[in-house]
Amino acid sequence: MSTDQPAEQPADQPAEQATAAASGAAATERFRTHAKQNSGTTDTDTRRVDTLVSELLAATHAVIRRHQVTYAEYDALKAWLIQVGQDGEWPLFLDVWIEHVVEEVAGESREGSKGTIEGPYYVPDAPRLPADATLPMRDDEEGTPLLFQGQVTSVDGTALAGATVEMWHADNDGYYAQFAPGLPEWNLRGTVIADDQGNFRIHTIEPAPYRIPTDGSCGRLIAAAGWHAWRPAHLHLKVSAPGHQRVTTQLYFKGGSHVQDDIASAVKPELILDPAPAADGNGRDVTYDFVLDKA
């Protein structure tokens, strides 16, 4: 979610009051709730913990020795790590710079559709909608209308009747509902139930590229390293069906800003959409099918 305004955004937009601290706190609380609900599945063998932590520490020690890290740099790192927690930005930091590799490992054996990172702004239990649906949005929602349609099948080609297609994305100013003030609770979030042939049609608007929050600890890291903070415009989706593995993904737009240099390193060639002008001249249409692996 952007907490800095995109350059073209008017200064009087209500969402300008969004802050990294507020969005970070919301993301942290949602993760804690999710982790508590799933605490029974996170036990890890002590030998596995020993291996992972020992290798992580060894890699850190090697960096310190290789680059002759000073006490001033060490103290700056310590202060920054403490501030990340105080800002509630650990979900943001991990999801932007670490998650894409975890997802790569988790999905390397899949035969079906490609996945990518979930990011910190997923909210479960969005309103359930029919197979031909319009995502909840404001009456005056700005943005290019988009029809996103497709079919959900199994890897053997079987249509998956009643498959669940969860979609959420930022608005035309780069803000997510429930993580920026002034937006309706479920704005541009919905759970679409595919028809008996696995087909779905979702009417929404094209989201905007946005900067990740830069007024908190992650922003200070970005500034210190001389990086940019931009993510390309994207649609978030979770697609699932009984007896099949759920795929979590993001879909991007061909030719869009920062598709080639996404700060979160989450773009894959298979995830780039190429919408065509709608037949009625109102917006754009695109078809994208999902193929799910057996569980």
Nearest 10 degrees: CA dihedral of 90, 263, 268, 127?
A: 50
What is the per-residue pLDDT across 11-69, written as a single tens digit (0 to 9) for each? Answer: 334 444 566 566 666 777 777 676 545 554 567 789 999 999 999 999 999 999 999 99
pTM of the full structure: 0.86
Burial class (CB in 10 A: 0-12, 13-18, 19+), 91: buried
| Sequence spans of domains, the chain | 16-39+97-292, 44-88
**pLDDT tens digits for range 71-111:** 999 999 999 999 999 998 998 999 999 999 999 999 999 99
Instruction: Specify the amino acid at residue 180.
Output: A
Q: Evaluate whether 217 touches 84 at the Cβ level (below 8 Å).
A: yes
From residue 252, alpha-carbon distances to 72, 90, 237, 262 in Å are 41, 25, 11, 11
Question: Which fold does the domain 16-39+97-292 belong to in CATH?
Answer: Protocatechuate 3,4-Dioxygenase, subunit A (2.60.130)
Report percent pLDDT > 70 for the chain: 88
Give CB contacts under 8 A, 24+ apart, made by 34-41: 34/124
Chain position carrying tokens 């995830």: 271
End-to-end CA distance of the chain: 32
